[in-house]
Amino acid sequence: MRKRSAERPVKINWRKYAILAASFLTITTLWGLASLSLGESIFGALLPSPTTVLIAVFNILEGRGVIIGGSAMYHVSLTLLRLGFGLALGMIIGTVLGLAASRGRLERLFDWPIIIGMSLPTLIIVLMFIAWFHAEDIAAVFAVAAATTPYVTVNIRDGAKSIDRGIIEMGHIYGANRKLMTWDIFIPNLTPYLFSAARYAFSLSWKVVTLAEAFGFSGGIGFAVYYNFWMFNQDLMLAWIVIFFM
């Protein structure tokens, strides 16, 4: 018997990491130069240096630079919970509406609501739900769901409409049941559109939930950024933004 050839070693894409490192160094250098050129005001540096912000990040994570109301993990977890429930709700509603809108008779019925939902400013959506539900977690959840639902609906609708009708008719001819049609035709064709919708909805959810926390809540990353903005703590404000991206 012939011996199996040795497995090839996994090649590390050093070029990719080098580009990432170069991008990081470029941004950090430009940030540092901008901090030096802008100077200071009566409240401190107009743009704190990367070193100052990094120290502030470690202070927050260690509990020394945290605002009143809990640890850094407490504020991060609040934001993640609100985002998670709102995103899940928006994905579920958007998927159902998208499948319904893909039917010829119902497509026109959903056109105007979708256009209005996509063109409505995020700030208006947030303020409406805070006015209706006050500073409750449900307000942020519903605001995220309302902002993401139109985009999910459009993606799922387009995905459902792109399925080849010939394949569906062939499945009916060969007697494929609904379960087989769902798992072998509809879901594989809708999966790329579903992931695309989820990716965009996820990025939009961060903006909505942090904006809601800044305007009407007493906890979360958005509240922490907004609080330090009004306290003129530029280093802590930027530190919370860095934590947001982490």
pLDDT in tens, 89-144: 999 999 999 888 887 676 677 778 888 888 889 899 999 999 898 878 899 999 99
**What mean pLDDT do residues 46-65 have?**
82
- Give the phi and the psi of residue 66 in degrees, each rounded to 5: -90, 140
pLDDT at residue 220, as a whole number: 86
Six token digits for residue 176: 């494929």
CA distances from 120 to 38, 137, 147, 151, 197 (A): 36, 22, 8, 12, 18
Q: pLDDT-derived band of residue 172, with 50, 70 and 90 as boundaries?
A: low
- Give the phi and the psi of residue 44 in degrees, each rounded to 5: 115, -160
Model confidence pTM above 0.75: yes
